[in-house]
Structure 1
């Protein structure tokens, strides 16, 4: 009778195939690779190594390097859009809703620095992959619709000025945070202030909210 081998002497069992987990690991590894090296500098073999998967599985579950990049970018956009949806802006008073949106946008960039790198990479590509995204309009139109509804409610209550373009406003909201975080290291050196510190970010966050709410306030004509 063969003697049973002790647990530590038995050969390791092969890792069970879990398509969802493998795909998730591949996409996370791909995101890290694209953030570090950009699209041109990224390498599929390094992505496979990071994910603990072989290249055959990588191509099987997602596709080539361009397909990986497109999927990572799409997931990044879906993530921020999902977060905006969860804000339930329509249930808030107009000023509170707008402050919440500005704060969320700032926090999203702060907590996801890789998102900025992906946006920079895609702009270098002149939005080549964004143009090919499925349901592009359906993905991005909800936030503009939410902003338009909040603006309309604010106008009706007399707390917002009239005639604000929701798309221009969203670009301003995103820009207030995007520029800050994409240039945070150079700005910290130039102004000799640690803008990446907790206090620095809190100051900037409050400033961004104040800028937007001040802009939206009804115009007051000077007394003659």
Structure 2
């Protein structure tokens, strides 16, 4: 290959990489804007025009990458689940003792939902639709199953060390952790009003986290 051909080939590779990066940035901008829109106005109330304006892109690009609003909503859901699972994977729970691993997982779940209210409202929205978008996903089970596998290993480690009780289903345990954290935050307005107490005050939030940790470990730890 001549020097001129090498230069041309290098320019072509650079051009392809540049287009790929631009495509990734565009898709990321669309997903970020769509997440906020769907979390604010739900699936039915969200318009693609508003998402395009927020992402500062031509609306036709949404159709190009995601086909339609249903396809975009599914992509946002998958991306949201992928985000929390990737963050959980960085906890390195396998390297911790069983009690500390459970404590860290509970604290993480609480902190993540608290820091990402858009995730909570997005999942609430999909539940209103009876998961009809997620049921079309070919990725969602693969995204979520590693956490349950990890939790199962933690429970078995705790059982073999004589720390945890046996016979605990990791899926049931995780659903319980989610219920104890997610429900409080997703129902914060009604609960605060009904019981006449600001459940989002710093003191109340700290009390809730301590309660959930103690409640979960109280169930698992052998006396």
1:121 aligns with 2:125: yes
The CA distance in 1 between the partners of 2:32 and 2:139, in whole Å, is 23
Question: Which structure's CA Rg is the greater one?
Answer: 1
- 2:162 aligns with 158
- State the Cα distance separating 1:184 from its structure 2 match: 0.8
The CA distance in 2 between the partners of 1:28 and 1:189, in whole Å, is 32
Which of these residues, 125, 131, 137, is aligned with residue 133 of structure 1?
Answer: 137
1:144 aligns with 2:152: no
Count of residues in Structure 1 that have an aligned counterpart in Structure 2: 204
Please give the root-mean-square deviation of Cα atoms over the aligned residues, in Å: 1.6
Which has the larger displacement, 184-193 or 79-88?
184-193
- State the Cα distance separating 1:139 from its structure 2 match: 1.4
The CA distance in 1 between the partners of 2:212 and 2:125, in whole Å, is 25
1:212 aligns with 2:212: no
1:92 aligns with 2:96: yes
Contact persistence 1:109–1:116 (CA under 8 A): yes
The CA distance in 1 between the partners of 2:209 and 2:33, in whole Å, is 30
Superimposed CA distance per residue, residues 174-218 of structure 1 (whole angstroms, 9 cap, x where no aligned partner): 001111001111212222222112222111111111110000022
The CA distance in 2 between the partners of 1:206 and 1:37, in whole Å, is 33
- 1:9 aligns with none
Give the secondary-structure state (helix, strand or coil) at the position aligned to 1:141: helix
Greater helix fraction, Structure 1 or Structure 2: 2
The CA distance in 2 between the partners of 1:163 and 1:62, in whole Å, is 43
The CA distance in 1 between the partners of 2:155 and 2:23, in whole Å, is 44
- 1:8 aligns with none
- 1:37 aligns with 41
Which has the larger displacement, 120-129 or 206-215?
120-129
Q: Which runs of 5+ in 2 are unaligned?
A: 1-17
The CA distance in 2 between the partners of 1:22 and 1:139, in whole Å, is 23
The CA distance in 1 between the partners of 2:135 and 2:40, in whole Å, is 23
Contact persistence 1:19–1:61 (CA under 8 A): no
Contact persistence 2:34–2:51 (CA under 8 A): yes
Spell out the pairing of 1:177-188 with structure 2 (5 A cutoff): 177-188=181-192
The CA distance in 2 between the partners of 1:145 and 1:22, in whole Å, is 34
The CA distance in 2 between the partners of 1:198 and 1:62, in whole Å, is 40
TM-score by length of 2: 0.87
- State the Cα distance separating 1:95 from its structure 2 match: 0.3
Which of these residues, 68, 71, 84, is aligned with residue 64 of structure 1?
Answer: 68
1:191 aligns with 2:207: no
Q: Which runs of 5+ in 1 are unaligned?
A: 1-15
